[in-house]
Amino acid sequence: MKTKWGSCNPEKGTIWLNLELARKDIAAVDYVILHEIAHFVSPRHDTTFIAVLNHLMPNWRQIRADLNAAPLTD
Ligand SMILES: [Zn+2]
């Protein structure tokens, strides 16, 4: 799974993060890490995946919207 902010390899248990995240709000960093960890539970953005996000970070949709609304480099 790969996005502009992060990617993961559940088989190897590894996560990569875009270093541009270091310039973002800490909540955005938490969201991207959580997103990638949730892919260890489900590889797809399915109901199981969404349930993990909803459980651990109820406001994840707002955080994602704020992150994606910002340019990649300010
Ligand atoms: Zn994803």
pLDDT in the model for residue 73: 59
Q: What average pLDDT does range 1-12 have in this prediction?
A: 83
Does this model's pTM top 0.85? My answer is yes
Distances (CA, A) of 36 to 53, 74: 10, 24
Q: How far is the CA of 35 from the centre of ligand 1 (A)?
A: 6
Distances (CA, A) of 30 to 5, 17, 20, 64, 67: 12, 11, 14, 10, 11
Q: How far is the CA of 74 from the centre of ligand 1 (A)?
A: 23
Q: How far is the CA of 62 from the centre of ligand 1 (A)?
A: 16
